[in-house]
Structure 1
């Protein structure tokens, strides 16, 4: 039996046809949309297909050194930006011995000490032969800011009463006074 074309087969639904064929792209200058108020094509300038974007100029070593110095100063001043927040946190944590205040003080000592130890590593990527002196000044400022954060920790420990600053804190090493004279009763 010869095969006959199936003329009675139904067409696929429209959604199947939409999935099999990608949607048509509309051009940039669609006729349905008008330009917004104040838009002028002459002010913006049309790019022609033949115009090419100029390649980016390679920065000179002076420009890169200046940028590296600027970034190194940002790194140097970063601990100073944390000082007000740390001071408020220390003030709000109170002066009593609690786990929260103890952990805050521990972090207040740990962060500056690790920052001071890792100063060269923090500035290594910014240092070149041309900007070594300027980076040295930024390193000094960075260490100074870390010392200020450390001083904030010492202040907090003093406020908590953990620093031995009074005479009564040293009574164990205090010796008995020997009197210069003795007075006795006389009947």
Structure 2
């Protein structure tokens, strides 16, 4: 008596593939057998590359919340969070190829994913610069540039009369 969900492991003859083995899948339209493993690996690499490319967007909300919680006053905590929000994307921009080295096998074109990664890091840098602007650390007003104005030389001079003794 065979159960509905049983499988004979000691059959001795090579029958169908074991449960969970999906080495080959037959295409019912063409009647051809394609290797599912290669297609599956490529799709997994595309998914992983997309995860790596969009990772800066995922961390952007946490960083933005931390910057919002630190306030707009200038203190050590808010400066450290803002510096971290600026330095980490800059480091990531210098290591774009390093972020995708595990996925680069020559078969998958990573250009689109790298461009998404670069754009996401530029958005993160923009958020950090906005925070610097709200804290007053960026020169955004005309009085921030007064040191560039030339010093006017006086044409005339006046002095008090000194009695001669």
TM-score range, shorter chain: 0.7 to 0.9
Asked whether 1:149 is paired with 2:109, we answer no
TM-score (norm 1): 0.65
Q: Report the equivalent of 1:64.
A: 41
Asked whether 1:140 is paired with 2:115, we answer yes
Max Rg structure = 1
Q: How many residues align?
A: 135
Could you tell me which of 78, 81, 89 is aligned with 2:55?
78
Q: CA RMSD in A?
A: 2.3
Conserved in 2, the CA contact under 8 Å of 1:68 and 1:127?
Answer: no
Provide the C-alpha distance between the structure 2 equivalents of 1:113 and 1:150, rounded to a whole number of angstroms.
Answer: 8
Q: Gaps spanning 5+ residues in structure 1: where?
A: 1-40, 179-187
Q: Gaps spanning 5+ residues in structure 2: where?
A: 24-34, 154-165
The 3 A distance-change label for structure 1 pair 48 and 59 is closer
Asked whether 1:121 is paired with 2:81, we answer no
Could you report, residue by residue, the CA deviation over 1:8-42 in whole angstroms, capped at 9, with x for unpaired residues? xxxxxxxxxxxxxxxxxxxxxxxxxxxxxxxxx84
Provide the C-alpha distance between the structure 2 equivalents of 1:62 and 1:46, rounded to a whole number of angstroms.
Answer: 30
Provide the C-alpha distance between the structure 1 equivalents of 2:149 and 2:48, rounded to a whole number of angstroms.
Answer: 54
Asked whether 1:174 is paired with 2:149, we answer yes
TM-score (norm 2): 0.73
The 3 A distance-change label for structure 1 pair 175 and 49 is closer
Q: Report the equivalent of 1:131.
A: 108
Could you report, residue by residue, the CA deviation over 1:110-149 in whole angstroms, capped at 9, with x for unpaired residues? 11011111110110111222212xx110000001000100
Q: Report the equivalent of 1:93.
A: 70
Q: CA deviation at 1:177?
A: 7.0
Provide the C-alpha distance between the structure 1 equivalents of 2:60 and 2:107, rounded to a whole number of angstroms.
Answer: 32
Could you report, residue by residue, the CA deviation over 1:51-87 in whole angstroms, capped at 9, with x for unpaired residues? 4872562754333222111100011011101111111
Runs of 4+ aligned residues of structure 1 deviating over 4 Å after TM superposition are none
